[in-house]
Every structure is written in C-alpha cells, then in structure tokens.
Amino acid sequence: MAPIALLSVSDKRGLVPLAEALHHRFGYQLLSSGGTAKVLQDVGLPVTKVADHTGAPEILGGRVKTLHPRIHGGILARRGDAAHEADLVAQKIDPIDVVVVNLYPFRETVADLAVSWDKAIENIDIGGPTMVRSAAKNHEHVAVLTDPDQYDRVLAALEASGGVLSPSVRRQLALEAFAHTAAYDAAITRWMQARPELDLEPETSDAALPWLEALPLRQQLRYGENPHQKAGWFSAETSGWGGAVQLQGKELSTNNLLDLEAALATVREFGYGSGGLHPARRPAAVVVKHTNPCGVAIGDGTAIALTRALDADRVSAFGGIVALNGCVDAAAAKELTSLFLECVVAPSFAPEAREILSTKGNLRLLELAPEAIDVAGRDQVRSILGGVLVQDLDDELVTPDDWTVATDRAPTATERDDLCFAWQLVRHVRSNAIVVARDGQSLGVGAGQMNRVGSARIALEAAGDRAQGAVLASDGFFPFDDTVRLAAENGITAVIHPGGSKRDDDSIRACNELGVAMLLTGRRHFLH
C-alpha cells in the first residue's frame, strides 16, 4: 500500500512543488480538504478529498472537516502495535504517514486593531492544531510539517534516506510542531486578555492566567552584549520592532536593539508619527548611548530638533542611536551625516533623505510605523534566574495638573514648561537619574549612580555654564538636601521630584533659603 500524505494548509507557499515531489518522486497518495485540495486538483495532481476518505461531509460551514476517527486514527496509530493494527483493520482506517498543516492566520487577522471579536474568533483554527498535535505525538511513525520553510529540508532528507525520514528528523519536526501550536495558542490568549469584550476585573485576569508569550525567532544575532555571549532576536512579524523595515546598513546587533528600544521609548514622550494612537505633538529627537539618553530636544521641525539634541552633548552622541518622531527630511539627513552614528529610527524617510543617507552605507536606517507600535502590547518583560518579571510599561502620559508646589515660590510659566520637559526625560534614564534641561533641550544627564548627589554632579558638570537658569529633575525623592544645594550652586532655579522622603522638609527648606522653586509629582520613575 502506498504511503499517505495529508495536506491542509492556509499558507500555500510551496504547496504544489511539495505535493508533486511527494507524489511523483516518493509515491505518496495525496489526501486533502477544502482550498488545498482545489489547488492540487487545478495542477492535475490526483487528490482524495477528506470528505470522500471519511465518508462524512464537511459541516457547520467548514468548521468540521478533519475531526474524524478515519483521520486521527490514521495519524495516531502505532505501526507494529497489534491492538492498534487490529483497530485499523476493523474500522477500515488507512495509516497516514505525513501531515502537512499550517493554521488559520489568526495573528495576521488580529494585527488589524479594528478587527471584530467575531471575525477574530472565526479565525481560530481547531482541526489544524488537532492534526498537528496528533502527528507530533506519534512522531515515531509520522512526519509533521507546519511551515513552508521546512519543505525543501524534508524533501532533501527523504531523498537522502531513500524515501523514509529518519527518527531524528521526525523528532525535530515534532518539536517544531509543538512550538508552532504553542505560539498559536499564546497569541490567542494574549489577544483575548487585551480585549475589552471580556470585561474582567484586572485582578481576576492576572490571577487566573499564566503570563504567556511565544515568539518566533526573527534573527540569530552575531552575539549578545559581548562577543562571547550567544543571542537571538525573537519577535512577532508585524508588531513592535518586528514590524520595522531596515532600509539600509549593517545587520542589527543585540546592543543596537537595546539602544533602539530606549531611544524609541524616550522620543514617544512627544508622540510619534502622523498616524497611530499617539501622533507627534511636536518634532522631537533623542540620542542614546548604552540605553541612556545623552541628548534630547524638541524644535520647530525635525532637523532643528535633531541639531539641538546633538548639541546637547556631541561628545557622547558619537556612535549613538537616534530616534526621531517625524519624517526625516533632507535637512535632517544632512545633520545625521555630520557624525558617526550606529542607527536611526523614524516613522518615515523622505526620498531625498534616503539618497543623502545612502552615502553612509553602514548606518542602519529603520522605518517603524506608528501602527506597529500600537499593536505591540504594554508588557515589559525581563528575565531572572528560572523565570521572568512582567510589568506594565512606564508610559502613562505626564499629568502636570496633579503636581503640587512645595516651596514658597512657585515656578514661573517658563520654569514649569522646562520642568515638564525634564520630567518626561528623567524616567528614561537609569536610576539614580538626574536631568538638567532648559528651553526644550537636555543639557546634562546623570545616570546609574549609586547615590543621587553623584548623578547630580555628573549632570551639572555636563551642563556646565548652561545650567544657569536651567531646571533639574530627579526620578526619585531627595533623601537629603545636598542635591538641591548643589543644584542651586550651579545656577538651577527650579527642581522636580516625586517627594515622599522622611527628609522632604530639609530639601524644601533649602530651596526656600536659596530661592529655588520645587514641584512634587507624587510618582516615582525608577529604571533599572
């Protein structure tokens, strides 16, 4: 009896060459259903339809096609097991040796933010995952293919082994099949958790379900943060950085991606692009080094914002990562060629900008649409030994109306604007974090020091004489009055911090003594 291959795929890339090879080169009978059977019939291949094989028609509008003992018995039966073989004979079931199945395009369907609940649910595959799991479980006897990228590899293995796949190949295919269905189920779960139709209390949702994520490997990276560390980039295809288009430049590295993430998070404080959920409110530019912003500015146009961001600290900007929240035009492109940079990310690049930047062949340009950001979700995930920590992104909009004046002198309108700008930046700086800013431009950034006054010294030293009349922001409260005194000595006129220290009064008294205005936000922004 000829071996049987069951083919039922949504993604029909490579289907015909695979079926032709299975039938003509290796002697397989072809069993198929629905649209897959029609494609094979249209090219003249002999196909038995599932409904004819089972004697049961498709029902419920196609919802039930392959859920039948003649299908699953044929897949799950152990060859050489007397009881199983007796059942096959008694039920007139033929063994199925190869299962080629990929699933309804659920992830592609829900990538549309406007998709209805009913449409998304209808794109949840039932029969497909059941066949995949059955075949993967019985991999001792059955080969299962779930991705067109596997076809050539499997055909080559069949050719090399005389038409019979080795146990090691079938085990590898089974592993990939279980990963395929796990990722599919995780995508469904994550989508449902985020939908308002569930109307669950947050506590109920968080307590009832494990955190799930299963992402395909997008790219094997050359190495991790250091050359001796292996690394891979796992990402959804259309959301977040998975939706970015690299227009030119060298392959992205681990450090590039970490810095790009930090730069994008910072520039999004001012909105991003012309579409999506949070369009740009004002042109902004961010320069990042080692995940910390070293230059941030707003301006009347992308090029002006970029120049001001670079001018904030051109020494640190060398070799940096740039994020812009608007289209890169020719003027901005010329500024980008003025120094060595690793990467630039923006919503779009004008054709003339692309031409100018093409002279920097190694410079990585990434075009990231606002819509790809919108569908990426709000979980921030970090690994710890044996597990992960999951928290909401710290990306809620700044709410100046909730701030309180702690000092005798209230900030002027100009100081308040500067304090708001500095507060938007400081939550993107590694703790302990201090930012000195003025007129919509960062002037000095102190990051990652073990004491707050140490970060203040770094930020004020970077600002130099520009600190005169500037403001200072701190991601956490001032534990002592030393930071505000140091700030005043360097010309700072107003400060902003969460408050909440037992010694808040010491810092407030020092500010009153020195004529420095202070705002309390009531919200901390640690970043580790």
**72 annotated active-site:** no
Query: pLDDT confidence of 211, banded at 50, 70, 90?
Result: low
Give the whole-number percent of the chain exceeding pLDDT 70. 95
Whole-number Å distance between alpha carbons of 191 and 111: 10
Q: Is residue 279 predicted with pLDDT exceeding 90?
A: no
Residue 297 belongs to what H/E stretch?
Answer: strand 292-298
Residue 457 belongs to what H/E stretch?
Answer: helix 452-463
Q: 12, 290, 334, 360: which is the annotated catalytic residue? A: 290
Residue 520 belongs to what H/E stretch?
Answer: strand 517-520
Q: Is residue 65 predicted with pLDDT exceeding 80?
A: no
Beta bridge partners of 392: 379
Least confident of 146-160, 198-212, 379-393: 198-212
Answer yes or no: are the C-beta atoms of 72 and 137 closer than 8 Å. no
Q: 12, 137, 250, 360: which is the annotated catalytic residue? A: 137
Q: State mean pLDDT over 6-23.
A: 91
Beta strands 320-324; 284-289: pairing state: antiparallel
Q: Is residue 208 predicted with pLDDT exceeding 60?
A: no
What is the CA 357 to chain-centroid distance, rounded?
26
Q: Is residue 402 predicted with pLDDT exceeding 90?
A: yes
Q: Is residue 110 predicted with pLDDT exceeding 70?
A: yes
Q: Is residue 204 predicted with pLDDT exceeding 80?
A: no
Q: Against a cut of 0.75, is the pTM above it?
A: yes
**68 annotated active-site:** no
DSSP for residue 269: G
Q: State mean pLDDT over 102-109.
A: 81
pLDDT tens profile 129-145: 998 999 999 999 999 99
Q: Look-up: residue for tokens 């909009």?
A: 397
Beta strands 4-8; 143-145: pairing state: unpaired
Q: Is residue 111 predicted with pLDDT exceeding 80?
A: no
Residue 265 belongs to what H/E stretch?
Answer: helix 254-267
Query: pLDDT confidence of 406, banded at 50, 70, 90?
Result: very high
Answer yes or no: are the C-beta atoms of 407 and 399 closer than 8 Å. no
Q: State mean pLDDT over 307-325.
A: 96
Beta strands 471-474; 494-497: pairing state: parallel
Q: Is residue 207 predicted with pLDDT exceeding 60?
A: no
Whole-number Å distance between alpha carbons of 467 and 456: 12
Q: State mean pLDDT over 496-525.
A: 95
Beta strands 217-221; 231-234: pairing state: antiparallel
Q: Is residue 331 predicted with pLDDT exceeding 90?
A: yes
